[in-house]
Amino acid sequence: MSDQQPTERLVRTITLTKDDLSLLDSIERFVSSGGYRIKTDSKLIRAAIQIAHKALHNESFDLKEIAEKVLSEDGRTQSKLLLKGKKN
């Protein structure tokens, strides 16, 4: 990883319905079809927000770019990469 600034994180409580969770599962399958495994709800929601934003503004989106951004900004992923880098 390059010298990226840490992403600011805000904690919010949200309520999801069963339909919402079903839609998140669909998004996970869609993203996984591109070869990316985004399993946590927070990452799925962040990917969904970015996809929805692009769709609402009639902008094309690159699934690879969104998935890589969401994965790279995730605190746990960053921690794992840092630990892996220290071991090497």
pLDDT at 35: 82
Of the chain, the end-to-end C-alpha distance in Å amounts to 14
User: pLDDT per residue over 17-63, tens digit each?
Assistant: 999 889 888 888 888 887 878 878 888 888 889 989 999 999 999 88
Average pLDDT of the residues in 71-75: 74
Assigned domain for 28 exists: yes
User: In total, how many domains does the chain have?
Assistant: 1
pLDDT at 55: 93
Residue range(s) defining the domain that contains residue 35:
18-87
Residue 85 has pLDDT above 80, yes or no: no
* Cα torsion through 54, 58, 59, 60, rounded to 10: 100
pTM of the model: 0.64
Assigned domain for 50 exists: yes
81, containing H or E segment: helix 75-87
Nearest to 30 by CA among 47, 46, 49: 47
pLDDT at 4: 60
Q: What's the CA gap between 14 and 21, in Å, rounded? A: 12
Q: What's the CA gap between 23 and 18, in Å, rounded? A: 9
